[in-house]
Structure 1
C-alpha cells in the first residue's frame, strides 16, 4: 500500500510538474507577446512623435510663407505708391513744359509785334525827314522868289 501511495504521489507530482511546466510555457509565451506589444507601442509612439515634429515643421514653414507673402504684399504696395508718385511728377513736368512752350510762343508773338511797331516808327521817321527836307526846299525857293521880287522892285 505504501508503494502504491508513493507511486500515486509520484504520479501526482509528475502531473503537477507537467502542469507547472505548461503554465511556465504559457507565461513565457505571454511575456513574449507582451514584449512584442510593448515594442509595437514604442514604434507607434516614435511614429507619433515624428508626425508631431513634421506637423510643427510644416506649421513653421507655413508661418514663414505667410510672413514672406505679407512682406511681398507690402513691397508691392510700396512700389505701386512710388510708381503713382513718379507718374504724378511726370504729369506735372509735362504741364510745366506746355506752360513754358505757351509762354515762349507768347514772347515770340510780343517780339514780333514790337518789331512791327519799330518798323512802322522807322518808316514814319523817314516820311517826317522827307517832309522836312521838302519844307526846307520850299522855304529856299520862297526865299529866292522873295529876293527876286525885292530886286525887281528896287530896279523899278
Structure 2
C-alpha cells in the first residue's frame, strides 16, 4: 500500500507521540493507540479518526493484526466523541440504540444520514421547481383574438 502525503502527515503525529513516550508505533499495541487518542483529544475527532484509520491501514497492508479494531480503541474514541445525535430518520423509540454503537460507526451513520437528508431536500427542491415550470407551461394564455388556450 502506497502511503499518501495525507497519510504520512497523519501518521507522523502518532509516530512522534510514540517516540516521545518510548513505545513502538509499528506494530502498535491497542493500548498505545487508545492512549494516543485520549492524550490528543484536543486534535478533534475528525483528525483523530483519520490518524486511527491510517494506523489501521498501515497494519492491514503489512498483514498484521489491526490494533484499532479493538474494544479499548473504540472506548477511547467514544470518550472523545459521545455527543453525536441519532439521525433524525431513526424512529424515536430506537434512538437510544444509536449511543450503544461504537464511535466510528455512529460517525459514519450520522454523516450518511446527513448526506441522505441533503440529497432528499435537493430532490424536493428540484421537483418543486419542475412543478412550477410545468404549471407555467400549462397556464392558459389569452390569445390576441380574445380566445383562451393552453400554452404549448
Superposition TM-score, scaled by structure 1 size:
0.31
The structure where helix makes up a greater share of residues is 1
**Structure with more contact order per residue of length (Cα contacts < 8 Å, sep ≥ 6):** 2
TM-score by length of 2: 0.32
